[in-house]
Amino acid sequence: MKAAHSGIQIIFGGAHPSGDPEECLRTGVVDYVIAGEGEIALTALLDDLEAGRKPGENAGIWLIDDGRIRPAPPAPVPNVHDLPRPAYDLLDLEKYFQLDSPWHFPKSQRAVQFITSRGCPYQCSYCHEIHGKKFRGMAPEVVLDQMEWLARDFGVREFMIVDDIFNFEPERAKQICRGIIQRKLKVHLQFPNGVRDDRFDEELVRLMKQAGTHFMAIAIETVSEKFQKSIRKNLKIDRALETIHWVNRHGIEVSGFFMIGFPGETLEEAQRTVDFAVEAPLDTIFVSIVSPFKGTKLRTDMLNGRFGEMDSESRNALDQLFPIVHSRQLSPEVLTRLQRETYWRFYTKPRSLVNLGKKLTNGRNVKKIVRAVKRRIADREPVSVN
């Protein structure tokens, strides 16, 4: 980018830059890092650049000043109701509609990513903390007005809702679903990112289906009660399984997220998790290798000895972009093999093959499936994420 566009300014934001802004700046190609939520800090930075001023010491903006990294306090956390409506009129959404969906197979190509809330009060140690640990949900009427505006003025037909935890307040989630039904929006919904398995009742699942939901992903991670506690997720597996059955009953496609390779986890413990993944009535699964990313409590817990003393190799691994810290029993090679075996067991089941066959309805979906299969079969480098 810098070679092609002389004088261009590069600004990084998101999970990794917020977790380690210094590393991004040390690359020598990143000019500014915004840590945390970006609207207020980015606006201040752009105002300074537009006016030809040296950026002031604004909260959230990290930069190199006189050859040294100048840190900044966290960006201010905005009230979600004080923020203006996103300026979709400044984008050519028709071009975005031509791209492959970043999430699950959409029912309509006229899909946008959409956020109704920020923040999650749960303390899962492997997760980022960009939006803080307090739930901040937009009022249902505000959410519905934005959806109706996008559907009416821009022809949006699918919303990929990527909240940290959409259903933290179940009654609010129900009000949004009822509003979609009452306003007759005629849209599709998918929840590929953040719903909490044990904050459902069957009424919410039913309303989500009636509002147009065709897919949701639920994060189980591990069936071990010990590791549920050690990573601070504290999910009750029986409640998660009950939710899966409700989702099945109401005809919503459901995916399960799982993790293997927690510090101190044995092969037998990991095997119990992947056996559950294969046997549960799920339509798709994702099995990730645990990665203690920078900016997460998991990394801090490991450095502080919460999972026992770390050897030098494991400490060095923590400084990698995708750190895989393993035990003697679960080396990266063992974890990768278990990950592949799990996918093979799951996706060769008759139910899974039928579900994949139903997705082969257009060229985009075919390419997506081919890429996924190739990545899981051909790639030999152990990776934490799918």
- Cα(268)–Cα(272) distance, integer angstroms: 6
At 324 the pLDDT is 78
Contact status, residue 49 vs residue 61, Cβ threshold 8 Å: no
Max CA separation in the chain (angstroms): 63
Q: Average pLDDT for consecutive 10-residue bins of the chain (386 residues)?
A: 90 92 92 92 92 85 92 86 91 92 89 95 91 94 97 97 96 98 97 91 98 96 95 94 96 96 92 97 93 90 84 79 75 89 94 88 84 74 61
Q: Which residues contact 182 (CB under 8 A, 6 or more apart)?
A: none
At 101 the pLDDT is 81
At 264 the pLDDT is 87
Taking the mean position of all CA atoms in its chain, how far away is CA 361? 26
Contact status, residue 198 vs residue 150, Cβ threshold 8 Å: no
At 384 the pLDDT is 61
At 59 the pLDDT is 84
- Cα(216)–Cα(256) distance, integer angstroms: 9
- Cα(199)–Cα(351) distance, integer angstroms: 27
- Cα(34)–Cα(17) distance, integer angstroms: 7
3-state secondary structure 17-36: HHHCHHHHHHCCCCCEEECC
- Written as six digits, the tokens of 328 are 């003697």
- Cα(160)–Cα(216) distance, integer angstroms: 10
Contact status, residue 100 vs residue 370, Cβ threshold 8 Å: no
pTM, two decimal places: 0.91
- Written as six digits, the tokens of 327 are 């035990």
Give the Å distances, CA to CA, from 284 to 162, 217, 279, 368: 18, 9, 11, 14
